Amino acid sequence: MEAASPISIPKTPLQDLPEASPKPYKKSFVTTLMEAATLRSTSFKEDTYFVSQLKSSEKKALQELKDKLLASDASDASMWGIPLLGGDEKADVVLLKFLRARDFRVTDSLNMLLKCLEWRTEFGADSVVEEELGFKELEGVVAYMHGYDREGHPVCFNAYGVFKDKDMYERIFGDEEKLQKFLRWRVQVLERGINLLHFKPGGVNSLIQVTDLKDMPKRELRVASNHILSLFQDNYPEMVARKIFINVPWYFSVLYSMFSPFLTQRTKSKFVIAKEGNVAETLYKFIRPEDVPTQYGGLSRPSDLQNGPPKPASEFTVKGGEKVNIQIEGIEAGATITWDIVVGGWDLEYSAEFVPSAEGSYTVAVEKSRKIAASEEAIHNSFTSREAGKMVLSVDNTASRRKKVAAYRYIVRKSTAIVPSTFNFAN
């Protein structure tokens, strides 16, 4: 057994950590997902949209598209509030998305653009964001924008496992009218995400999609998934920088291994799959822990979003056979320390204790050592001490050989009065 690895953190007064920031044939649901993962929206390296960096043939195609659009009936058209022939860089970003979606074939790009403009008018896409569609029970559960990745892309989480409940499925997809209403809501979620984009060369011009495949009813959702794929593929080109699939079942991995040799490196680099048990480890590579929802091994709770940007977390790794002690030092008498801590796929021992600085004082067991199940979410706790000292958070992974990702954050607030030692916590 290896000795505990200490992580000592000196406390600064009132420590507020700095803020971050033809009619389609019937396809299986898995096939649909595979297609979604290989759309041209995935790219080996995200394009910067600087016109100066385009090839001469691409610059020529951009100008030809503008000329053809000017000669069409849509010469005064706008998309996402951007006049397409406004002559500015934002318009170039939009037009280049359509060109890239059709490999800079100008006629094909123009046809796609004109069909998209027609669809947006008929669908009312410009006003759908403000509509009340009555899907409160799905918000924050099925499809929702939540935080940003490490490069600043807005992240859209998708999880359709709730539809394994037959009553829920019938309530949402029971007939064609309900299905169309759901599709409208799903477009609404996407449009809200697009409103967060910069549409600026060198800026953030695409989203990250995270799709949770756990408990997803494949056969039942085939029709809905085909509709969603068709809508997004035809009307939202180059809008997704990376697609991450989590809680992936074994058969999906098998299918990917079969498809993989036929995919370009550009596509494979943006198609990420994570089996159940590797969710936090995978998401942390692209998204900071404070922006990862607690159900996926992160520190972000829905209520956190109401309080402005999330407080950044510190990341660390717990090796197999290792115990790590996080020591938060310099806590003054009467101060209250509040912390969050999580280990991806827990399945280890955790404890918290307050160690007074004065000799002869007793250590306070704030949280006695206990086994944390793999399914448990981040721990949130607070403690107020009547003495100066340090807080020690311990994670004991000595019973496992598996390395695990972890994160924590804390804040210490002084008090004007000395109060008895108190603590409370909630998982």
For residue 420, with 0-12 CB atoms within 10 Å meaning exposed, 13-18 middle and 19 or more buried, which class applies? exposed
**Span 288-295, mean pLDDT?**
96
Reduced to 3 states (helix: H, G, I; strand: E, B; else coil), residue 54 is coil
Reduced to 3 states (helix: H, G, I; strand: E, B; else coil), residue 312 is coil
CATH number, residue 337 = 2.60.120.680
Does one domain contain both 335 and 190? no
In a domain, 17, yes or no: no
pLDDT > 90 in the chain, percent:
71
Does one domain contain both 106 and 202? yes
Q: Among the listed ranges 265-274, 313-322, 375-384, which one has the minimum average pLDDT value?
A: 265-274
Confidence of residue 423 (pLDDT cuts 50, 70, 90): very low
Final residue in a domain of this structure, among 246, 266, 296: 296
The answer, yes or no, to whether residue 228 has pLDDT greater than 70, is yes
pLDDT at 218: 75
- Which residue matches tokens 């520190």? 299
Does one domain contain both 173 and 260? yes
In a domain, 425, yes or no: no
Does one domain contain both 321 and 251? no
Does one domain contain both 386 and 281? no
CATH number, residue 267 = 3.40.525.10
In a domain, 91, yes or no: yes
In a domain, 420, yes or no: no
Confidence of residue 311 (pLDDT cuts 50, 70, 90): very high
Strand order in the sheet with 323-331: 5-10, 323-331, 389-396, 348-356, 364-372
In a domain, 418, yes or no: no
Query: What is the number of domains present in the chain?
Result: 2
pLDDT at 270: 74
Which residues share a beta bridge with 318? 404
In a domain, 9, yes or no: no
The answer, yes or no, to whether residue 16 has pLDDT greater than 60, is no
- Residue 373 phi, psi dihedral angles, 5° rounding: -70, 155
Q: What CA–CA distance (Å, rounded) separates 225 from 36?
A: 10
pLDDT at 220: 76
DSSP 68-116: HHHTSTTTT-EETTEETTS-SHHHHHHHHHHHHHTTT-HHHHHHHHHHH
To the nearest 10°, the Cα dihedral for 182, 188, 222, 278? -120
Does one domain contain both 235 and 373? no
Does one domain contain both 120 and 263? yes
How far from the centroid of its chain's Cα atoms is residue 342's Cα?
Answer: 17
Tokens representing 229? 């794929």
Does one domain contain both 323 and 262? no
Does one domain contain both 292 and 322? no
Write the CB contacts of 363 (distance below 8 Å, at least 6 apart in sequence). 353, 354, 355, 356
Confidence of residue 122 (pLDDT cuts 50, 70, 90): very high
In a domain, 308, yes or no: no
pLDDT at 219: 76
Final residue in a domain of this structure, among 296, 330, 348: 296
Does one domain contain both 192 and 161? yes
For 124, the domain range is: 29-296
Which residues share a beta bridge with 10? 329
- Residue 382 phi, psi dihedral angles, 5° rounding: -145, 155
Final residue in a domain of this structure, among 296, 323, 349: 296
Confidence of residue 9 (pLDDT cuts 50, 70, 90): low
Q: What CA–CA distance (Å, rounded) separates 139 from 302?
A: 11
In a domain, 49, yes or no: yes
Q: What CA–CA distance (Å, rounded) separates 128 from 194?
A: 13
Does one domain contain both 321 and 283? no
**Span 251-270, mean pLDDT?**
69
Question: Could you report the per-residue pLDDT of 33-68, keeping only the tens digit for each?
Answer: 544 444 433 334 678 899 999 999 999 999 999 999
Reduced to 3 states (helix: H, G, I; strand: E, B; else coil), residue 259 is helix
Does one domain contain both 343 and 383? yes
